[in-house]
Amino acid sequence: MNIALGTIAFGTAVDERGTFAILDRFAEAGGTMLDTANNYPFWIEGRTGDESELAIGAWLAARGNRDQVFLSTKGGARPTVPGDTTLGSAEGLSAPAVAKAVEGSLRRLGTDHIDVYWTHIEDRSVPFEETLGALNELAVAGKIRSAGASNMPTWRLERARNVSAAHGWLPYTYLQLRHTYLRPRPLTRLPESGHMLATDETLDYVRSEPDLTLWAYNTLMSGAYTRADRPIPEFYDHPGTARRLATLHEVAAELGATPNQVVLAWLLADGYVPIVGVSTMAQLDEAIGATEVKLDDELRARLDEPR
């Protein structure tokens, strides 16, 4: 299954019992990819940011199934001042910070390696050579298997990949950005600090680089495609959105699928890995059901260019 499970809520909003049940069901359905970070959910008062990794580590230990899981975690955006709920004191991406962050994640996850290690946000105070050299050392030591850039603009990713290539280092082969079916207004500034939207240029770049895989987050807009209690974010407020929503609902009705499932199927059809955060079994089952939704060329074209 090419859907990755988002885990921000695990160990906090979803307690250990609920976390284990969701992870068990995801694994039974053929899910392997988990997305966490060394700071989830530090922005909530009273939380440290250890919680999600600890919850996953507890499940891996209980089930003894590390080899069946494709584990992705991130570093660089963990506060260094306890209680800081902003990115103001983030650890950053110096070589010592990266090495320390990875050790912390390995310990909390109870594993000796990470399948994709993401730099969570940029740290432009550190030269690429330093961060990428540190990631390469971790790869040589067997602690990370591949590297991903999260919230990095295309021009910086291209530069980073060139630096790695020039040194024969582990390159970034994964990119993680916010991306869904609705398109934002141009020049949008997101309210969530650190988040970055995929642009048309990003998608063009990903299509042209066969060794690069895009993982998309906030794919379901936190439930806003279907829930009245979740308003669609303001930066999607433009005339194209109404056409896209109408087409999405039409296609969903024709296929007997839900709009959320069509969004996920559309992302999957483009070759992206949608990350889905769930807090209930029903939400998980709806996401799993998306893998059964097949979009033929005609439906993809209609969704791509709604009239």
Residues making contact with ligand NAP (CB under 6 A): 6-9, 35, 150-151, 176, 194-195, 217-223, 226-227, 260, 275-279, 283, 286
Give the nearest distance from C-beta 120 to ligand NAP in angstroms: 6
Considering the complex, state which of residue 47 and residue 137 has its C-beta at the smaller distance from ligand NAP.
Answer: 47
Give the nearest distance from C-beta 299 to ligand NAP in angstroms: 20
Strand, helix or coil for residue 306: coil
Tell me the C-alpha distance between 298 and 296, whole Å. 6
Considering the complex, state which of residue 199 and residue 222 has its C-beta at the smaller distance from ligand NAP.
Answer: 222
Query: Cα 17 to the chain's mean position, in Å?
Result: 23
Considering the complex, state which of residue 137 and residue 244 has its C-beta at the smaller distance from ligand NAP.
Answer: 244
Q: Cβ distance 123 to 167 under 8 Å?
A: no
CA distances from 6 to 30, 32, 48 (A): 15, 12, 18
Give the nearest distance from C-beta 112 to ligand NAP in angstroms: 22
Considering the complex, state which of residue 129 and residue 283 has its C-beta at the smaller distance from ligand NAP.
Answer: 283
Considering the complex, state which of residue 104 and residue 274 has its C-beta at the smaller distance from ligand NAP.
Answer: 274
Give the nearest distance from C-beta 221 to ligand NAP in angstroms: 5
Number of H helices, E strands in the chain: 10, 8
Strand, helix or coil for residue 54: helix
Residue nearest to ligand NAP (CB): 6
Q: What is the DSSP letter of 64?
A: T
> In what helix (H) or strand (E) does residue 289 lie, and over which residues does it extend?
helix 281-289
Give the nearest distance from C-beta 160 to ligand NAP in angstroms: 16
